[in-house]
Each structure stands twice: as structure tokens, then as C-alpha cells.
Structure 1
Amino acid sequence: MLKFIIRRLLQLVVVLFVLSILLFAWLRALPGGVVSAMLGERATPESRARLTEAFGLDEPLPVQYWRFLTRALQGDFGVSTGVQPGRSATSILVERFPATVELSFVALVLAVVVAIPLGYLAAGKRASFLDNSSIVVSLVGVAVPVFFLAFLLKYVFAIKLGWLPVSGRSNVPDATHVTGFFVLDGLLTREWDASPGRPEALVLPGIALASIPFAMIFRITRASVLEVLDEDFVRTARAEGAQSPRRARSPHHAQCTAPGHHRRGPAGGCPARRRRPHRDGLQLQVASVRRSSSPSPFATTPCCSCSSSSQP
């Protein structure tokens, strides 16, 4: 076991090292270079020269990479120039990370709580209306893009019906923040008057983000139960007059491990998928990349590297 852990840690070091090289090369391969990406098309020669000297971009590439690597190891990912100009990219990442974890947890819980019981019921009533409709829902969950599903949920339940918040991560200025997780902080501090509206802000994005893991966990659960129901001992029990074959023992490890295969899905997909409904999470890093803010990909690297080893 110890050798396995050491081997995995060494592989993680190699993966992070290769990822750092690829990220450094990608930043240097931006159209017009890093300076043009940060300053835009209206950059003057004086501002370009000043920024080049400030970031050391006039030095040899090995020196630039060594500086880039040492800063990353120290947790210094530079200063944002797009989303929140002048703020440290690390502070933005730390501030927004609880929102992403909070939403990922809610999405995974929704997927597990609904998918596993529904998989059992659908397998027990094979070829019934419940089974067929559940299969259709699971196929829709895989086929429909999450951002499109989020738009539909927002339009129906937030705009048309007005049942849930349209956007935003609900916050109360006078609330006491202990962990950064708003719902958990309300429970820990017992500030019930400062907590209303926070759970509701998680419903729409949580349902949208849970669609894919729900579909996968449901299909795995259903297939596992059907496999057991087709075993010889179940057919024998039926022949002897058993009235409830659904009580037969099923491979519980399939249901226990199925959610683990999707632990990366919600967290890894949050930055891109939670733009609608909007919540103040790590989607700001994606917005920064789209605005060609050079330091922000540095802050996104730890999330990508941690999630890539787990593995849509």
C-alpha cells in the first residue's frame, strides 16, 4: 500500500510538471504574445515595453519558466487584469472556491439521492412506464448540454413562475462568515434571520449540474440490479413462489462506487457550466481567460491538475 501511494505521488509530480510546461508554452504562444493579450490592440509601444520589463519577458525562456515555476510553487499566481483588475489571482480563487465546492456537493447529493432509488425501482419494474420514462430522462440528462438545461430551468422556474432566484449567490452583509460556505455558516452561527434565500440559490444550478451524474449513476444502478435479478438463485426463488424478487441481494459495491466516478464531474465542470444561473464561483476564471487575462490561467491550473487525475 505504501509503495502504491508513493508511486501515485511521484506520478502526480510528473503530471504537474508536464502541465506547467504546457501551460507556459501555451501562454507564450498566444497571438501577439502575453503583452498583447494583456494590453489589447490599443497598447502603445511605451506600455508594451514597460510591461515586458515588469514581467521579465525580455529574458531567455528557461529563466522565464523558472521564475514562473517558483512563483507557482509559492502560491503567487500573479495579479488579475481582466475580471477584477489589481487583485491577486490567488485571493480571487480562494474567495470563489467555496461557492464551487458548495454547488458541487449539492449537485452530487441530488444525483445520488434521486438516481439510486430510481434505479432500483426501474429495474424492479422492467419495461414498465416508470422504467421507460426513467431511461428517457437519463438519456436527456446525458444528451442535453448543461448550460442549455440551466437556461431552460432559469426561464421557466425563475423568470416565468418566479419560484426561485434568477441569479447570484445570496448574501447578507451582516451575516457572520466562518467557513465561506453560506449555508453552512448559517447553520453553525445559528443566524437564522441571515440565512433565508441561500438554499434556494442552489436549487436551479444544482439540478442543472446534477443531470449528467444522475444519468450515469441511474444507469449503473439499474444495470447492476437487473444483473442480479437475472441470476440463477433469483430465478429459483421465483420458481419456488417468491413474491418480491426485488428483495434479492444486489451488488452494493456498484452503488457505493458509482458516485465516486463522478466526484470530479461537478467540480471540474462548474467553472464552465455555472454561467447560467450565475453564481460567484470559479466561472470568473473562465471569464478571465476569455478576456485574455494572462495571470488567471495560473490560478486555474491547480483545479485542472487535481481534477484531471480523477478521470467528463
Structure 2
Amino acid sequence: MVTIAVDAMGGDYAPKNEVEGAVMALKESGNRFKIVLVGQSEKVQPLLDEQDTTGLSLEFFHAPEVIGMHESAATAVKTKQNSSMVQGLALCKKGSANAFVSAGNTGAQMAASLLVLGRLEKVMRPTIGAYFPNPSGVTMVFDIGANVDCKPEHLVQFAEMASIYLKYAQKEANPSVGLLNIGAEESKGTDALKQTHKLLRGAHEKGKVNFAGNIEGGDVLAGKTNIVLCDGVVGNPLLKFGESIPHFLSGLFKQEIGKLVKTGKLPMESAEVIGKAFKGMFASFDDEQFGGVPLLGVNGVSIIGHGRSSALAIKNMIYRAEEMIEKRVNEHIAEVLADA
């Protein structure tokens, strides 16, 4: 049986959402995997006592320390070896768990994953992506902050790993890759982007990636390619901008609808119907449906979630972990990189 370690102390609403999400996942899935909650017993156990866990494949592992959301990643990982994050990853390293899930300090999780699990053979740098909605599904952007000084060869490897992830875990037969640039022409961009373009063309000819060329910012939500490739310095602001869109537009919408209702130009009943439609329109921006994303390139499965993760998001993060294991994503990545 697949065993998934869940960081019960990671996240803005831990451990409540972590406990509820774990129980929800086990009940919904019919106990098809085992979950080990890792955290402080004095905080987690009372919440477990409130849940009906009869017959569930649920265990608890005590870890007395917690890495805070705003602690220095490197320092916290080195000084808090008994934290829920480090101990959860250690369970994976020892073979007691097959995957680790956390909505805690992202920087610390990336650092701890590298320190405890290490890299897959031939991986230069691990990468992390994010889901963006498009008219027919989702687009994934890599890298969104794990790496801020990428060389062309790093970006090409990100494209290879991302392509494997989409192909096997997301069932995208031949995922396309677009290089985010200031223009679609091959001659556009910095020397590094031009070199990346050249290397991606070579990888395309070898059948390692389905490279569609340069794309521009407007192509991300349009879904021109399945994968958008960029440096973390670009990807992280792009992610934060995307996350701000629903909140910003919702504020404007409420303001304008309020004016129309107040002046009698729009009945309240109509405003409520329009409001429901507006809310539904932004459902695709809700990252709870995905829960989290894998840190691709580490020698194990480490799923990273948003700090504000709800119980639903935690549940879906657990499913992402199971997906990575069942679809043997890491093994496929290793196979592709072995030919480099």
C-alpha cells in the first residue's frame, strides 16, 4: 500500500485543515493508501479525537518542532531536524513513506527536500510549476520561484521534466512547450533566451520535448502551449499576478453592481444571478482543485501546497502525491535524462 506522509504543522491553518484533509482523503478514496500525519502530538491528537477515524489507514508520528512560515529556509532546516517537515521527508528517505505533502514554508520544503532526498541522477536543479487556467483546461508554468538564475541548460531540463509530468500524471499525450519571451520571433530576447531557444530546438529534434517556439505573456491564459517555460524571477511574479486577478476584478465588479442596484438600474434579483455567474467564471483560478504541485527533480515525491490551503486542498495534494507514485513520474524522468 502506498504511504503518504502529511506535514500536520505546515500551513496557515495547521493542524486543523491537515487533519480534516487527511481524513477526507482516506474516506473518499476508500482507504486505498495509508497516511502518516507528522506533527506535535499535543496539537494534532485532540483534533484526531474529534474525527471518526475508525477503520482508516491513518497513523501519527510525533515531531516536536515546527518550521514557521516566515523562517529562513536554510537556517530552519539545519537547526530544526526534529521538525514535522524534516521528519516527514526522513520517513520517505528511510522507505517508511512513499511521498511527502506540506502546505508549509515553501523555501524550507525545497531546501529540506534537496537535503534529505537529494536529486535524481543527472538533474541539475529541481523545479516547481503552477497551474494557470485557459479556455480548454490548464497551462503549467515552470519555474515559478525555485530557481532565480537559470542557465539555458537548466530551462531545457525543466521542459523535459515538466513534459514527463504532464504526459504521465496529467495524461497529456504530447504536451507542447512555449518559451516565454518578449516576442514570438526566434531572434527576440536576451542571449540566454536565444541560447535556450536553440537548445530546445535540439531537444525537439531528439523527441524529448514538443517545442512550439517563443510565446508572449498573452499566450499564457490563452493556452497556446501546455507548458510555459521561464526563469523563476519571471515565473514567480507571473504567478502572484495571476493569483491577484480574481480578487481585483471581484472588487471592481461589486463596486459597479452596487452602483447599478443603488440607482435602480438593476434589480437585486438580477444582481444576484450575475454575481453567481461571475463567481463561477473564476472557479478555474481556484488552486484548491489541484491542491499542490510536485517539486520535480528530487529523488522522491515532495508535494508543495499554498500556505492558505483548505482541507479540500490538502485532500487534493494527497491525491497529487499518489498520482506521482502510481504513474512512476520520477522513474520516467530518470529514463529521459539518462539519454542526455
Q: Which category of TM-score, normalised to the shorter sequence, fits these structures?
A: under 0.3
Structure showing the higher helix proportion among its residues = 1
Could you tell me the TM-score, scaled by structure 2's length? 0.25
Q: Which has the larger radius of gyration?
A: 1
Of structures 1 and 2, the one with the larger relative CO (CA 8 A, separation 6+) is: 1
Could you tell me the TM-score, scaled by structure 1's length? 0.26
Structure showing the higher strand proportion among its residues = 2
